[in-house]
């Protein structure tokens, strides 16, 4: 430890600084896009898991089981190496060659489907946590089942779910790091690149760690006001 040759200034020289900033940009873009897609797909999955039809519930269950139980790293490999082979050959060639930034796009797709399974579980829990009395009251006042879903269950469920969904958002940021396995140069890959080219691993990994911590704190600072503003009246921790 004593023999380590410190040199923090390498982080602020080119090309290292440019590498880190480019990595930061990719991490943020990938995480935000994936999380938005995951919210959309996850809402569908969560709704499917609470549907009345047994077949629809089964589909939701299989989706969740499949995407949550296969390690994300393996899923990245499957999407990147196996998925194009399963497509018809023209389409497969297009995916491999002409897709816009293929690694990044595929990593985003993979991450969205994986996070959708996790978000779906949260949504299911949220839907089931909506008080039964409210649904009975809505039925009694003549709303249809779809109206109840749309105007009663989902608004309450999504507002209750802001804290766990924040956790999922932070997890999305961290999971983008696995995209390095298919060649996406996000923050972690960039810090590894700096380590290999300058032999200053300590500074490089410290910089990456710092960036992840800042992302987390920044996200929390953005979400906490939203959480406070949308608290449900009459619930525990809500406005009275």
Partner 1 sequence: MLSLDFGIIGPNAAFLWEGMKITLWLTVLSIIGAAILGTVIVLARLFGPLPLRLIAFAYVNFCRSVPLVLVVFWFYFLVPLVIGRPVGQFFSVLIAFILFEAAYFSETMRAGIQSVPRGQLAAAISELAPEIWTGR
Which chain residues interact with partner 1 by CB under 8 A? 1, 4, 85-89, 92, 170, 174-178, 180, 187-188, 191-192, 195, 201-202, 205, 208-209, 212-213, 216-217
CB of 201 to partner 1, least distance (A): 4
Nearer to partner 1, 156 or 161 (CB): 161
CB of 130 to partner 1, least distance (A): 22
CB of 83 to partner 1, least distance (A): 12
Nearer to partner 1, 1 or 229 (CB): 1
Nearer to partner 1, 67 or 186 (CB): 186
Nearer to partner 1, 119 or 187 (CB): 187
Nearer to partner 1, 61 or 205 (CB): 205
CB of 128 to partner 1, least distance (A): 19
CB of 155 to partner 1, least distance (A): 28
- For the chain, give the secondary structure using H, E and C: CCCCCCCHHHHHCCCHHHHHHHHHHHHHHHHHHHHHHHHHHHHHHHHHHCCCCHHHHHHHHHHHHHHHHCCHHHHHHHHHHHHHHHCCHHHHHHHHHCCCCHHHHHHHHHHHHHHHHHHHHHHHHHHHHCCHHHHHHHHHCCCCHHHHHHHHHHHHHHHHCHHHHHHHHHHHHHHHHHHHHHCCCCHHHHHHHHHHHHCCHHHHHHHHHHHHHHHHHHHHHHHHHHHHHCCCCCCCCCCC
């Amino acid at each position: 430890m004593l023999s380590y040759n410190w040199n923090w200034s390498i982080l602020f020289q080119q090309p290292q600084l440019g590498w880190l900033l480019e990595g930061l940009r990719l991490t943020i873009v990938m995480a935000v896009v994936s999380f938005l897609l995951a919210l959309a797909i996850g809402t569908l999955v969560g709704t499917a898991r609470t549907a009345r039809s047994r077949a629809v519930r089964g589909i939701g269950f299989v989706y969740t089981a499949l995407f949550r139980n296969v390690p994300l790293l393996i899923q990245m490999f499957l999407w990147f190496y196996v998925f194009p082979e399963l497509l018809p050959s023209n389409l497969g060639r297009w995916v491999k060659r002409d897709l816009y930034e293929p690694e990044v796009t595929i990593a985003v797709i993979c991450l969205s489907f994986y996070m959708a399974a996790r978000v779906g579980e949260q949504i299911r829990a949220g839907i089931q946590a909506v008080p039964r009395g409210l649904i009975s009251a809505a039925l009694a006042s003549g709303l249809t089942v779809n109206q109840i879903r749309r105007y009663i269950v989902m608004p309450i469920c999504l507002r209750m779910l802001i804290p766990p969904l924040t956790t999922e958002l932070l997890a999305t940021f961290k999971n983008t790091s696995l995209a390095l396995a298919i060649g996406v140069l996000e923050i972690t890959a960039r810090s590894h690149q700096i380590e290999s080219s300058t032999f200053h691993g300590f500074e490089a990994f410290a910089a990456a760690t710092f960036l992840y911590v800042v992302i987390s704190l920044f996200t929390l600072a953005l979400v906490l006001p939203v959480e406070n503003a949308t608290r449900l009246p009459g619930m525990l921790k809500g406005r009275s």
